[in-house]
Amino acid sequence: MRNALFLLLLVGCAEPAAYQYGLDLTELEFVPYSPDEGVYPDESVLVDPNNPFAGGIGDQAKWDVLASGPVHGFYAMAQSLVQIPTGEHQFYTAYAAHGIYAYELAEPEDLYMVYDIAVRGYRTVLEEFIDDVTYDPSGTYAWYVAPLAYLGLEELGGDTSGYALITADDGTLTVVEVP
Amino acid sequence: MNKIALAWVGCALALPAWAAPNHVTVRGDDAGFQLLLDGEPYFVKGMNWSYQPIGENYRYVFWEQPDAFIEAALRREMTLLTAGGANSIRQYPDIPPRWVEWIYDNYGVSTMINPLVGRYGAEIGGRWVAETDYSNPATRTALKAQTLEAVERYKDTRGVLFWLLGNENNYGLTWSGFEIQNLPEGERDAAKARYLYSLMGEIVDAIHEVDPHHPVAIANGEVQYVGLIKEECPHLDIMGANVYRGMTARDLYQVVEDTLNLPFVYTEFGADAYDAKAGTEDHVTQARYIVSQWEDVYENAYGRGVGNAIGGYVFQWADGWWKYKQEENLDIHDTNASWATGAFAEDYVEGRFNMNEEWFGINAVGRPDVDGHFDLFPRAAYYALAEAWKLDPYDPKTTPEVVDAHFGAIHPGHYDQAYRTALAVGQVDQLSRAFVSNVRVEMSTFATTSDRVRGMGKERFSFDHLESFYVETEAHPSDTFRAELSINALGHVPTNRIDAIFYESRGRDLVGVDPDGADVDLSDLERIKIYRAAFTWEHDQFTLEGFFRKPHFHWGYEGDFFGLYREANYGPNVDMYNGDVPIGVELTGKRSLEGLRVAYGPEVYWGANPAVFAMYGRQVKGMHLALIHQEDLAPKGTVETTFAVPEQVTRKTALSAEFKLGPANVELGGIMAGTDRVGESFTRVVEATGDDGYEGSGYHVLTDEIAFADTLGTRARVDLPLGPVRFLADGAYKGLVADGGVDGTQHFTGWTLRQSQRGNQVGGSAGLGINLGSLQVAPNFLWQKPLVGPLPNVDDRWDGDTGWYYPGVTPRNVLDDPFAVLENRETTGFEFLLAYDPTPGTWMWAWDNEMREDASFAASLDLTYRIQPTSRDSNFGFLEDGTLFSFDAAPPAQDVWDARAKTILNPRGDLRLILGAYAGTAQAKGSDERLITRGGGDVKVRYKSMAWENWVKLHDWGPYDYHQDYNNTYPLQVISDLSGGLTAPRLGTRSMRLGLAAKYRILNEFSEDFATRPGDPDALGYEFEIGTYVFVSL
């Protein structure tokens, strides 16, 4: 009997293992966790209880999630931005926030914060990742993300000072720093 | 009555005979005066003795030091003192009576106790009065009481010779008062002196009332006021004075005789050992003065001359480096003179001081060691006095002629060499306490090229050079403390080497950007760096060792059965990756602390978190028990190499027992580790049966939690010698987080197949060593299996139609998960080892065997095969910018084999050949799936001081950790190094060598820096480096 008790003590009273299934994200809502969430180099998305991808998101899944809408896309891209800080991830995070703001997919009292995240996210692309590119789904053609961020900033009335959008002869858009 | 009681009676009877104070009297007759000690004439061969280390001043109180320190110092000092013939010392009443007795009992040296009677101020009515007013009734009462208190304290003490009151108090009559100021100026001092001497007289009388055993003297400044002394001190027993009259005292004895009719003792006399005129030490002249002064004493001792000289106290035993200015330059032997007298004519110049207070010692003083003890270096005066004092002044045969002849035969100059030799030895000893032990200069050149460089002929080569300098210093401040410090300084650092990471590469040009965007040259940040530092303190109860980049051993042989405290010896890697490891301190207990080991430091082995380790082991009834605990204190901040990635902060405790069971040596142990991870969740998988499992992976994915049982583990090892056969079995069961460390202990042979000490496994190994003469055959078997297997890669998936997200599964890693399957992966291994070594004294498997093997022929062959039916979890790698990351996958399940052979030949004493060969398959540390099949070998020839060493590798990894992480291999790597020096290469030393070294590599698509050639996609690349080096080591 004493041995059995000792064994019980050793084994403890841990919960039985739980099988892992998918997560139903149909009801996912955007609730900003911090004013800097989704703006490099902030990493608060990792501890945001509303982030369903905090355990990591894969390369393919992030695009699929982004395509399903700005709320899911924000968390997928903000998570990717922390995993691999690139201009591409920063741009799409800001782009998703832009969408949440434009379509008012957050509580009204949170919308200004979402707007600010989008503006600062675009601005961060210019300041930190001006030479980064994004690719088409085939991975063949690349575009600079800075012009897209610049246009996003203009659309939101954000601060573009210090940068200029230039159109080359072939129609390619480029952002350059101006004194 | 038993024996103990009898012994007590014996002691009691014996007590009065030796415990009573000495009876000291003065005897006078027509022939003069003598001091009698217990009835026997006692010629005072005294010394103004004190113990003051350099750097201290008058505030230093020797008698307040610990007893052990005092006794050690006294043993050194009194041995020297008595060897020189002295028999008495002068001490102020701060010497504890027990030390007076100790000195007397052990060395026969008496003590003259010297209350100062307010000479340098006194505490009057509870406050300190710096200027003593001998006319003040309260002052007189207090001084008298204080003096009598001292007398009471010492009067029954063995070894007390007599009382000495004051110290030139007649030179300190500085007070002023209404009564004194009203006197004519010429009479003021005499009036004050009368107050002084009247007090002295009162005290003399009072002492006589309480102490019938010891006479009383005063320490007057010269014989000033001798008339007053006669009037005011009518019962004074001995006239004493500090006298600096040069070669002789001239009429002093006669003045004392005529005025006082008392015996005379010098309370201070002597000469300084510094020639103020020449500005140099002159101890021979000092000795001449002192010998002459003592001849004067002998000539006026009982039965000769005036007959009243009873001896004296030489001023002084040792130099006092504090005396000039007393508060400043305490560790400088000041050569400033502070008073003048023409009595010492050799260095007297009118209008200039010639007496150097800091140079009056008949011994020079050495600097103190860490304990505060110091050496003395006897000057000529010491030796001359020893010679002078051999003459017994009271021997009837000691006539004036004998005295004259005796002192005439003493030539102080003869002792000059003895002093200088002793001083030189002392200075060498002093220098050896801190010295530059070695200087190394390493200069190399490198000419490199590769297929990526375009050009013709010499233009294809880039040339660069390296200069690296090492200064190694050692310090031995005492016999028990040793420290070493090695500093590296860089000259030029090359940028063209094909192996771009090396110790000196830290000094390459580095440009940063400041907040304004401007370039900042950061090249000089690490041009000078501490290469290695260490110290060892051998305390009575422990050894304390500090280490920085200096290897240390593990505790495996002392009871650390689970290898928690790992050996830290990283060979060239610690330089290559610029690791500042190990760093910490380690304490090893001795005597009452025997069995205790403690280590603490920021990184006591490479990859360790800041931690403390403590182990205690002891023998209990034929069994050695050991308990060890590891407590991580914080996470380590930086990572230099992927083979030393720090794991999560944790704590571990292990208990082990080692004992004999018949012929077998048995070790048993239990470990509890990672208790702070209980409750943490982790993912595991089980094979799906009947369906495709999670996301078609073939597995069901489960989320689980660490339980307390997962922190526990156990291990057993049996070593059984049976004649020529020796059997070793080792087995363990360890919970998921019950991680041990690394077992660094050696078996009786050189098996490479060992069970991992990581948690999450069950398994064991068993092997035999069969000794057939000089041949050993050693088969070995290993089986280990993780309790929870590694995680497969399952991609995450988003189902846009349903809005469901299916998280992916990636292999675990040791930083983000509570445990991971790494070297504890499922393995069934077989090993077959053959060794031929006719001289087992130089063990074939010792790390330094290539240097030490002394057999004319020794060889080994080791074959291993590992069956690995499953994969493992994830390791770490570095990104190009230095970011540490976890690989998202691991190589697949794959069996691997390995074969290694080694031969050492010593065909003649000055020629050694070392041949090695290897072949096998291996997997990357990262995620690359490619299994490499590699081979190679080395040929090393050492002939006298020449060395030619060559390595060849085929399809093997490159030299750096990341080559193995990323599976970067080269079709061919060749290194050749030819060098010669003054001596043969030796272990642990960098001898002087000149050499020529070359590296050649062929590159393909798996190699770092390989660039496909346009138009010739099948072409291989290459890189080549050739250079020279010069190592100069002093």
Give pLDDT tens digits for A13-31: 556 788 878 899 999 999 9
Mean pLDDT, rounded, for A90-111: 96
E strand map for B604-748: 611-620, 623-632, 651-661, 664-673, 681-687, 699-705, 712-722, 725-734
φ/ψ (deg, to 5) at A8: -60, -40
DSSP annotation of B281: E
Residues of chain A contacting B684 with CB distance shorter than 8 Å: 17
Distance CA B707, CA A16 (A): 11
Q: Is the pLDDT of residue A33 over 80?
A: yes
Signed CA dihedral, B316, B319, B325, B330: sign only? negative
Q: Rounded CA gap, B777 and B638, in Å?
A: 44
Are the beta carbons of B796 and A25 separated by less than 8 Å?
Answer: no
CB contact under 8 A, B795 and A61: yes
Q: Which parts of chain B sit beneath pLDDT 70?
A: 1-19, 177-181, 183, 185-186, 454-456, 510-517, 521-525, 987-990
User: Per the CB < 8 Å rule, is B798 touching A23?
Assistant: no
Q: What single DSSP character describes residue B930?
A: P
In whole angstroms, what is the distance from residue B216 CA to residue B221 CA? 16
- Judged by CB atoms closer than 8 Å, whether chains meet at A20 and B810 is answered as no
Contact A25 B797 (CB under 8 A): no
- What confidence score (pLDDT) does residue B517 get? 67
Which residue from A15, A20, A56 is facing B810, i.e. has the nearest CB?
A56
> How far apart, in Å, are the Cα atoms of B157 and each of B14, B18, B94, B105, B177?
17, 11, 14, 11, 40
Chain B residues within 8 A of A14 when measuring between CB atoms: 704-707
Q: Please indicate whether residue B386 or residue A137 has the higher confidence score (pLDDT).
A: B386
Those residues with Cβ within 8 angstroms of residue A63's Cβ, 6 or more apart along the chain or in another chain:
A137
Contact B317, B50 (CB under 8 A): yes
Task: Verify whether the Cβ–Cβ distance B803 to A26 is below 8 Å.
Answer: yes
- Predicted complex ipTM: 0.89
**N- to C-terminal Cα separation, chain A:** 83
Q: Provide, as residue numbers in chain B, all residues whose Cβ is less than 8 Å from the Cβ of A26.
A: 802-804
Using CB atoms, which residue from A12, A57, A68 is nearest to B707? A12
Partner-chain contact A20 B709, CB within 8 Å: no
Is the CB of B807 less than 8 angstroms away from the CB of A60? no
Q: How confident is the model at residue A170 (pLDDT cuts 50, 70, 90)?
A: confident
Considering only CB atoms, A10 lies closest to which of B712, B796, B803, namely: B712
Give the separation between CA B70 and CA B62, rounded to whole angstroms. Answer: 7
Mean pLDDT of A37-51: 95
Q: CB-based contact (8 Å) between A58 and chain B?
A: yes
Q: Measure in Å the smallest separation between the Cα of A144 and chain B Cα atoms.
A: 22
Distance CA A33, CA A27 (A): 17
Does residue B694 belong to the interface with chain A, where contact is any CB pair within 8 Å? Answer: yes
CB contact under 8 A, A25 and B804: yes
A67 interfaces chain B, CB cutoff of 8 Å:
yes
Decide: helix, strand or coil at residue B18.
helix
Nearest 5 degrees, angle CA B1030-CA B1031-CA B1032?
115
Burial B20-40 (b: 16+ CB within 10 A, else e): ebbebbbeeeeebbbbebeee
Using the Cβ of A26 and the Cβ atoms of chain B, whether some distance falls under 8 Å is answered with yes
pLDDT of residue B646: 83
B800 contacts in A (CB within 8 Å)? 64, 67-68
B705 touches chain A (CB under 8 A): yes
- pLDDT (tens digit per residue) in B636-648: 878 888 888 888 8
Phi, psi of B543 (to 5 degrees): -115, 130
**A103 CB neighbour count, 10 Å cutoff:** 11
Q: Give the pLDDT confidence score for residue B113 in this predicted structure.
A: 98
Does residue A5 belong to the interface with chain B, where contact is any CB pair within 8 Å? no
Inter-chain CB proximity B806 and A23 less than 8 Å: yes
Please report which residue ranges of B800-889 form alpha helices under DSSP H.
Answer: 849-852
Alpha carbon distance B196, B167 (integer Å)? 12
Residue A7's pLDDT is: 46
C-alpha distance from residue B565 to each of A143, B550, B552 (Å):
54, 15, 10
Rounded Cα distance between B760 and B336, Å, is 77
